[in-house]
Structure formats: C-alpha cells, structure tokens
Structure 1
Amino acid sequence: MSQVSTEIPAGYKKNAQGALIPIDRIKPIDIERDCLVAEIVDKARELSKTIADFKHSTMGDIEAFVALSAEKYGAKLGGKVGNVTLTSFNGRYKVVRSIDEYQVFDERLQAAKALIDECITEWSAGSRSEIRTLINRAFQVDKAGRLNINSILSLRRLEITDERWQNAMKAIGESLQVVDSKAYIRIYERDADGRYNPLPLNVAA
C-alpha cells in the first residue's frame, strides 16, 4: 500500500482545514501573520526547553545539597517532607523547592459517609441540626465534580465521642490517598524593605 505524502509542495501553504492554497492567492497580511506566529512559536519552544533544563538541573542540585548536608551535619532542611528552603549567606536570595500533592479519597470515604449519616439520622430529633448543615456542605462537590478535601478533613476537628463518628473519622483519614505530586522551584530576592519578591519565571508574570 502506498503512503500518502505529507510534504507540502513548493508554492503552497496548508490552511486550517488541511487544504493546499497557492501562496500567490494568499493575502500578504496573512503571510506576515503566519511568519510572525511561526517565529514566536520557535522562540517559545526554545525557551520552554531552557526552562525545563533549568528545572531539571536545579532539582538535581538541590537534592545533592540536601544529601550532602544530611551526610555532613545530619541536618534536615525545610519544613514538610519534600519542601526545602535555601537562603544565601547574606540573606538576599532564597530558593524554595515545594512539592504539591494531588490527593483523592478512595472507597472508604463512602463507608465514612454511611456512618456519619447514621449518626445524623439518630441526632436529627435533637438540637444538632447545625451539624447536618456542616456535613452537607463538607460533602458538596464543585463544578468539576470534585470534593473539597479540606472541608471533609475539618469534620475531624469536631468534638464528638460517638463510636460510629470516631470510626467515620478514622475511615476519612485512611481513605485519603496521594495519587500524584508536582515539584516547583521558586526563587526570591529581598528588597530594601526586607520583603522577599519572587523572580518571575513564567510568561504570564
């Protein structure tokens, strides 16, 4: 079977519908726009690769330094696991590596909700109607159909000793799973007023 050629013949350009249009039939302004877009995209691709290389090498440098510090001094840098803050000797610059985790609830959340519903049904005749409102809000989903993790976890701060409630709170905690994580590098410079301002590394900034 012969393959269909994807090469564009000389003197033609392919439009958005895939049709070949003779260049001499294309308006000059459309040619100029096409050239400008292609030039910007080429520069953006080069810049994107440079940023990706920078992030990759910087992550490696930070990992190596953390290992070196732990080896020499037994020190742990940063706060939470995975998060590291490095500051220059004069305090002017700060480099932050942060790890953002994407968490979801597994099927045990349904068991927790069932236990909570049992409690609410039993308490509904009493004076705890505000708790039902709080729980209904906690389990509401957003426009994308996602649960608000912080709202659900906030239920664990309620001082309720009912064994079913305690089991539900345990199920909530155990059902939360980390399914993905993303690392970020943020670099800051301190100004004359002592504030750390981020160095913009994205086009939007």
Structure 2
Amino acid sequence: MTSTTLPAGYRQDAKGNLIPEKNIRPIDQARDELVQELATEAKRLHALLSAFKLRAHADIEAFIQLSAEQYRVAIGGKKGNVTLLSFDGRYKIIRQIQESIRFDERLQAAKALIDDCLTEWTVDASPEIRAIINDAFRMDHQGNIRTGQVLQLRRLKIDDERWVRAMAAIGEAVQVVGSKSYVRVYERDDKGAYQSITLDMAGV
C-alpha cells in the first residue's frame, strides 16, 4: 500500500497495519516525515546519477569513434582507459575499464611447478623471493586467490625452465569473467593539481 492509497488520517507501520495518526506520537510522525522526504530525494538523485552515468559512457564512446573516424580507422568495442581534457585543461574526464579475472585449473599446474623450484632453491634462493612467491598464493579474507599478487610473479626474472613454464601456465589460466566501466571527472585547482568531482555521497 502506497502513501497515495492510505486512508486519510492513517499511517502504515512496518508490519503493514493501518494506525490512526492520532495514536502516533508527534516525534514518531516527525521522524517518519523526515525519513520519507530524504529517501524520496535520494531516489530522485539516484535516478539522475544513473542517467548521467549512461549518458557519460555513451557520449565518451561516441567521441572515441568520432576521433577514430578522423584517421579512417575503426575501433570495435571497449578498448580500455581513455583520458579526455577540456581545451583549457581545467577539466579532465577519465573512462576506466576494470576487468574481473579468475584462474582456471591451470593455476594448480603452475603452483606445482613453482613448488618444485622452491624445493630445489631452498638453500640458494633469497628469503625475499621465497616470501614473495609464498605470499602470492595466500588466500584473501574471502578465500579467493589474489589475482594481482599471482600476476606479479610474472615480473620476476628467473631463467629456470620450470619457472618459465609456470609463468606461461599462469598466463593461460587467466579468464576474464566480467568488466566494469567507470567515469571519473576532475577539476584543476589553483595549484595545478586535479581534484576529483565526487559523485559518491560517501566521498562528498
């Protein structure tokens, strides 16, 4: 039952019961009115932000295509991050694509090869390298492999043939399971530094 269908002089409680307003304390009525007013305004602003997000993504994508046409090239789909600056440099807009990745079963093969290396290197390997490798395969607080730490292992320059195969297995085990697109807007302050124009209420 919505407020427009409530009988005059009544309010609905959390259990769905109709309560005569004369039986509701003034402070409870005032609280209800405050919450209803703020929630209604929050929903209106949420709708505006959702519309802005859709427009921003569509306009940026259209501009990328327009820019590509100037050079007679075709750009298909999302191509990652892009930064756009106003002519005077006062405003900066960044479109970021963040991919969510997971590892398939080939990660276990990579871990086995790495374990073989560590067993043989126990005497000669530096404690720092062993710590980096072991830490990479630690689970996060949700019990998931921390993809960023595992991928960083590929930056280590190790010539052992097993290590090379392990790094190849890690690369092949990566599976992109989704992506999110973000638009961030910045304004340059008096000192020349770009400050974010925050659209998240928690960050205002």
TM above 0.5, yes or no, is yes
Provide the secondary structure at the position in 2 that maps to 1:159. coil
1:153 counterpart residue number: 151
- The letter for the 1-side match of 2:196 is P
Of residues 169, 175, 178, the one that matches 1:177 is: 175
Runs (4+) of structure 1 exceeding 4 A deviation are 6-9, 17-20, 74-77
- Provide, for residues 155-177 of structure 1, a one-character-per-residue CA deviation record: whole Å limited to 9, x for no partner: 22223222221111111111122
Instruction: Give 2:85's aligned residue.
Output: 87
Partner Cα separation in structure 2 for residue 142 and residue 20 of structure 1: 48
Q: 1:120 aligns to what?
A: 118
Aligned residue runs from structure 1 range 139-150, under 5 A: 139-150=137-148
Offset of residue 75 of structure 1? 7.8
Q: 41-50 vs 98-107, which deviates more?
A: 98-107
For 1:198, the equivalent position in structure 2 comes to: 196
- Identify which range, 146-155 or 89-98, moves more after superposition: 146-155
| Aligned-partner Cα distance in 2 for 1:161–1:31 | 73
One-letter code aligned to 1:115 = L
Q: Helix, strand or coil for the counterpart of 2:176?
A: strand
Root-mean-square deviation (CA, aligned residues, Å) is: 2.5
Letter in 2 for 1:59: H
Gap change, CA 1:29 and 1:75, over 3 Å in 2: farther
TM-score norm. by structure 1 comes to 0.84
Aligned positions of 1:1-205 closer than 5 A: 10=7, 11-74=9-72, 81-124=79-122, 126-128=123-125, 130=127, 131-204=129-202, 205=204
- Count of aligned pairs between the two proteins: 197
Contact preservation (8 Å) 1:96, 1:186: yes
The answer to whether the 8 A contact 1:83-1:96 is kept is yes
Alpha-carbon contact 1:92-1:189 (below 8 Å) kept: yes
**Pairwise CA distance, 1:150:** 2.3
Residues 65 and 74 of structure 2 are in contact (CA less than 8 Å); yes or no, is this contact kept in structure 1?
A: no
In the alignment, structure 2 segments of 5+ residues that lack a partner are: none
8 A Cα contact 2:110 2:170, kept in partner: yes
Distance 2:130 2:21 in 1: 68
Letter in structure 2 aligned against 1:139: F
Shift in CA distance, 121/19, structure 1 to aligned 2, threshold 3 Å: farther
How many Å separate the matches in 2 of 1:158 and 1:198? 35
In structure 2, what is the Cα distance between the partners aligned to 1:46 and 1:35? Answer: 17
Which is further off, 7-16 or 99-108? 7-16
Letter in 2 for 1:36: L
Distance in 2 separating the partners of 1:164 and 1:138: 18
Q: Distance in 2 between matches of 1:166 and 1:48?
A: 49
Residue 165 of structure 2 aligns to which amino acid in structure 1? N
CA distance in 2, matches of 1:68, 1:82: 16
1:179 aligns to what SS in structure 2?
A: strand
> Post-superposition shift, 1:129?
6.0
